[in-house]
Amino acid sequence: MWAVVAVAARSFAAGQFWGERRRVALFSPVEWARARSAFSFEVLARLPGGGGRAGLITTPHGQIRTPAFIPVGTAAAVKGATPEQMAALGAQALLANAYHLYLRPGPAVVEEAGGLGAFMNWPGPTFTDSGGFQVLSLGAGFKKVLAMDTAGLADDQVIAKGSERLATVDDDGVTFRSHLDGSRHRFTPEVSMRVQHQLGADIIFAFDECTTLMNTRPYQERSLARTQAWAERCLAEHARLTALSPARPYQALFGVVQGAQFEDLRRRGARDLAGLELAGGGFDGYGIGGALEKENLATIVGWVCSELPEARPRHLLGISEVGDLFAAVAAGADTFDCVAPARSARHGAIYSADGRYNVTRAAHARDFGPLDADCDCYTCQSYSRAYLHHLLRARELLGYTLATIHNERFIVRLVDSMRAAIESGGDAFARLRDGFLNRYSGG
């Protein structure tokens, strides 16, 4: 017997929306299970007395040992580094952005090239986010800021100082203007799924609305309901597209939990997503998204993880600060992504075991030691702080590459050490965390 789902299809024209329902034949349950078997997650070790765990994600293009940091190549490239360099520094997977690739070069180009991995010459697992974060970025102008200080502020029409609103959200989707040329576009859950299927990443995310912490409680409630409705539509479209291309490698779909800083909304969002079932199964994993109060990050991640299925991986979107990573791993997050290591590197901000510092400061002009004496990366084994100081001050492109290699390796290696500590058992993770953070913060 064939599984059949009714899909709500909506179109946009001249500001008007209309809906129709169409029945789409999907895989039989046996065929659907066979397709999804190309993706799996296994918990291999647990953190005593906490939610943290070490595991193994299997995708059609390879495995990811978790916890793991996933470097971001927004436009199918980590700025300043080649895919070969990313592999050499220990990256297990890379994440690209569906919104940016939709605008340039276009998903059809990536599909014709053989998918994201083939297009960028990366043989390992790949992720694409849904474009939902760009709704926040374009709509409110906060760019990369996810951990916000919003004491005393509440405004549903909030916009960052000096920014122009380029996106508007309604219950059906998002209308936005390109940041490249001002052209008008429309993203719905179905469009996001189609774009991500064309891009061909191993792990893709459901289209969601990412709010700021400045939005009021009533708006957060409406947004959570909207994200849930979009998640159902994403599941339906994902199933339809998977059935249309049975020869393609299976793409795992992750639902995204929102709810801002409110415990009841976060828990409800997680439970509602976990309860969705379609054609024999729900989401393959879950993302934890939205702006977070930095001091409550571990608590919020803990709320969400306690409501999600143990047998599914959890990805915390947009986080890479050292303290945040330790807190999130202990609370149960499995994978992470963030542009910060590469972006910081291009501005001369260097991670080290003794804390972050700016190598472009005059104090490093004659420092012929490595960026970090404890680091095993190519940059630290081959070049000095003085040389990086010179390159970055002179705006030589090599400086961006060498600094990026180091910062990405630092974060990748740090999360790898957390995984090893969890696998070791006992109090190894606590000892690693306490010793590392004590030194990193200067005691």
Output 166 or 129, whichever has higher pLDDT.
129
82 and 219 in a single domain? The answer is yes
What's the pLDDT band for 158 if we cut at 50, 70, 90? Answer: low
Is residue 30 over pLDDT 90? no
pLDDT, tens only, 254-308: 999 999 999 999 999 999 999 998 655 799 999 999 888 889 999 999 999 999 9
387 and 431 in a single domain? The answer is yes
CATH value at residue 210: 3.20.20.105
273 and 294 in a single domain? The answer is yes
232 and 375 in a single domain? The answer is no
Q: Name the one residue in this structure whose structure tokens are 């995310």.
A: 205
Spatial contact of 382 and 63, defined as CB atoms under 8 Å apart: no
Q: What's CA 341's distance to the chain center, in Å?
A: 14
What's the pLDDT band for 134 if we cut at 50, 70, 90? Answer: low
pLDDT, tens only, 349-361: 999 999 999 999 9
Output Rg (C-alpha) for the chain, integer angstroms: 22
pLDDT, tens only, 61-76: 999 999 999 999 999 9
315 and 355 in a single domain? The answer is no
Which range is least confidently modeled, 75-84, 144-153, 239-248, 327-336? 144-153
Give CA–CA dist 167/133, Å, rounded.
Answer: 11
What's the pLDDT band for 5 if we cut at 50, 70, 90? Answer: very low
Output 99 or 24, whichever has higher pLDDT.
99
* 21 CB neighbour count, 10 Å cutoff: 8
Last residue of a domain, one of 338, 355, 377: 338
H or E, element range at 413: helix 397-424
pLDDT of residue 131: 84
The domain total for the chain is: 2
pLDDT of residue 150: 46
Is residue 45 over pLDDT 50? yes
309 and 363 in a single domain? The answer is no
Query: Alpha carbon of 414 to those of 40, 67, 90, 410: distances in Å?
Result: 25, 10, 11, 6
Among candidates 243, 234, 249, which has minimal Cα distance to 114? 249
Spatial contact of 257 and 275, defined as CB atoms under 8 Å apart: no
pLDDT of residue 358: 98
What's the pLDDT band for 34 if we cut at 50, 70, 90? Answer: confident
403 and 348 in a single domain? The answer is yes
What's the pLDDT band for 324 if we cut at 50, 70, 90? Answer: very high
Among candidates 202, 207, 197, which has minimal Cα distance to 252? 202
* 310 CB neighbour count, 10 Å cutoff: 12
Q: What's the predicted TM-score (pTM) here?
A: 0.90
Type of residue found at 279:
A
Give CA–CA dist 65/312, Å, rounded.
Answer: 14
Mean pLDDT of the chain: 88
Give CA–CA dist 395/211, Å, rounded.
Answer: 36
318 and 428 in a single domain? The answer is no
Last residue of a domain, one of 295, 321, 338: 338
Output 433 or 22, whichever has higher pLDDT.
433
58 and 129 in a single domain? The answer is yes
Give CA–CA dist 278/195, Å, rounded.
Answer: 21
E strand segments, 198-264:
203-205, 252-257
Which range is least confidently modeled, 146-155, 235-244, 331-340, 341-350? 146-155
Q: At what angle do helices 322-331 and 397-424 cross, to 10 degrees?
A: 30
Give CA–CA dist 228/17, Å, rounded.
Answer: 20
18 and 134 in a single domain? The answer is yes
Highest mean pLDDT among 32-46, 168-182, 288-302, 354-368: 354-368
E strand segments, 291-405:
314-317, 335-338, 349-350, 357-358
Q: C-alpha angle with apex 56: 258 to 190, nearest 5 degrees?
A: 40
pLDDT of residue 146: 37
Containing structural domain, residue 313: 4-338
174 and 288 in a single domain? The answer is yes
Which range is least confidently modeled, 130-139, 146-155, 187-196, 306-315? 146-155
Catalytic residues: 129, 337
